[in-house]
Amino acid sequence: MSDFQLTRTLDEHAADAALRADVRDGLTRTPKSLPPKWFYDARGSELFEEITRLPEYYPTRAEREILLERAREIASVSGARTLVELGSGSSEKTRHLIEALPALDTYVPVDVSESALRGAAATLLADRPGLRVHALVADFTRALKLPDSPGPRLVVFLGGTIGNLLPPERAVFLAAVRAMLSPGDGLLLGTDLVKEESVLVAAYDDAQGVTAEFNRNVLAVIDRELGGNFRTADFAHVAVWNREQEWIEMRLRARARALVKIRALDLVVPFAAGEEILTEISAKFRQEGVRRELASAGLELTHWWTDAEERFALSLSVADGRTR
């Protein structure tokens, strides 16, 4: 892959150190919590791919519908010559944009998984010879230094993943994205929209129990990586709609009293019957709320696209001209 370059900004031990810190912090606080990024080992990634094909889980289909319908329009209004994708994974959805950008010079996928980046690059370069791919092995929630590449740049953050961040975390993240942008650059942001509670809860608590297995997988990760002795069957999957905050909360609820040992941390974690671990929030948005959050970060929302049923939105925003 002569047009492929990879830069690693994560220390090889960074993931282990972060997992240890997150587990110790999250399981010794009240209420207990764990960050959702630890769902995604190989098994967790397989389960999530299965979730995206479930009838109840609409976000992936809705976002793909928008990309298929609007890719050429997005390409035209952005004029991007560099595409930067945060949390790129397999880059599957982004291919619709890449195909619609005839002047695209460079694609910069950003992900923590080097194997995913290399696999995606091989597929893209086979289909688009001449495209330059400069992959970054990095955590997109931290400040990024992007490689030199021609503008305009379009930073892409798909999947509604921004909803996994708490409002203060979203503010920090959007400010960091704004700091990457020069005049003429833009941000394409995927946001899941507020809708009927029954539709939302079903999307995170499917009838086949795939999401339940996905949720409990975080305990399996702790057992394998840190020598824990969680019995995953002893924890029930819970998905609830928080009306006040307008987000889904995924939790794991202890079915009975338990005492969990985590050898690598020399930690013993007691659970009362019914005690819960918050494993994920998934915020849902309204257009005006998205506009306000973007504006607070110095970004002006210029375009808003939804699927036919208005379940999901892609928005394009640009730097508002203020000195940052």
pLDDT tens-digit readout, 63-76: 999 999 999 999 99
pLDDT of residue 90: 78
For 248-277, what is the mean pLDDT?
Answer: 98
pLDDT tens digits, 24-54: 999 999 999 999 999 988 899 899 999 999 9
Q: Is 50 exceeded by the pLDDT of residue 55?
A: yes
pLDDT digits (tens, 9 = 90+) for 186-230: 999 999 999 999 999 999 999 999 999 999 999 999 999 999 999
> CATH number of 57-196+285-319: 3.40.50.150, 3.30.465.10, 2.130.10.10, 3.90.380.10?
3.40.50.150
Q: What's the chain's average pLDDT?
A: 93
pTM above 0.75, yes or no: yes
Residue 168, token pair as written in the block: 């203060």
